[in-house]
């Protein structure tokens, strides 16, 4: 089954304790992306990657890091989480072969709470 998976689905942590949210896709997609969803703000892009070893900032990158060492994986790293990073996070992937109209597939989300 074609899918994007994220782990963990729920995470409660404390300020300053480094954490990683994993994302994996099995569709051989070149493009992967992280979004955060906050009430009343919709989804905002954090980082994206066009292919292995190619990453770039989205609209809200402060406080986050990413890496793309393998095509299927795109982990999101919070080196020193703060309460304002409490949010619902989504990983997404898509192919680039069809241009701008190709569908972006989303993972199930990770709900992060930083105390």
Partner 1 sequence: AQSVTQLGSHVSVSEGALVLLRCNYSSSVPPYLFWYVQYPNQGLQLLLKYTSAATLVKGINGFEAEFKKSETSFHLTKPSAHMSDAAEYFCAVSGPNSGYALNFGKGTSLLVTP
Shortest distance, CB of residue 104 to partner 1, whole angstroms?
Answer: 6
Cβ distance to partner 1 smaller for residue 1 or 42: 42
Cβ distance to partner 1 smaller for residue 44 or 65: 44
Task: Determine the Cα angle at 104 with ends 11 and 48, to 5°.
Answer: 65
Shortest distance, CB of residue 64 to partner 1, whole angstroms?
Answer: 15
Shortest distance, CB of residue 19 to partner 1, whole angstroms?
Answer: 20
CB 23 within 8 A of CB 73: yes
Shortest distance, CB of residue 12 to partner 1, whole angstroms?
Answer: 16
Can you name the residues that pair with 82 across neighbouring β-strands?
A: none
Can you name the residues that pair with 21 across neighbouring β-strands?
A: 76
Cβ distance to partner 1 smaller for residue 69 or 103: 103
CA dist 5 → 25, 30, 114 (Å): 6, 16, 22
Q: What whole-number distance in Å separates Cα of residue 60 and Cα of residue 94?
A: 20
List the structure tokens of 48.
Answer: 């994206």
Cβ distance to partner 1 smaller for residue 33 or 85: 33
Q: Which residues bind partner 1 (CB under 8 A)?
A: 4, 31, 33, 35, 40-45, 48, 50, 58, 90, 92, 94, 96, 100-101, 103-104, 106-109
């Amino acid at each position: 089954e074609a899918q994007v998976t994220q782990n963990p689905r729920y995470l409660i942590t404390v300020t300053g304790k480094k954490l990683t949210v994993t994302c994996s896709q099995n569709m051989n997609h070149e493009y992967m992306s992280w979004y955060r969803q906050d009430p009343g703000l919709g989804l905002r892009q954090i980082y994206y990657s066009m292919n292995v070893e190619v990453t770039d900032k989205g609209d809200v990158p402060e406080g986050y890091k990413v890496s793309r060492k393998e095509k299927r994986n795109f982990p999101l790293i919070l080196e020193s989480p703060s309460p304002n990073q409490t949010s619902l996070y989504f990983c997404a992937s898509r192919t680039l072969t069809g241009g701008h109209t190709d569908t972006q597939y989303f993972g199930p989300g990770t709900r992060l709470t930083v105390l």
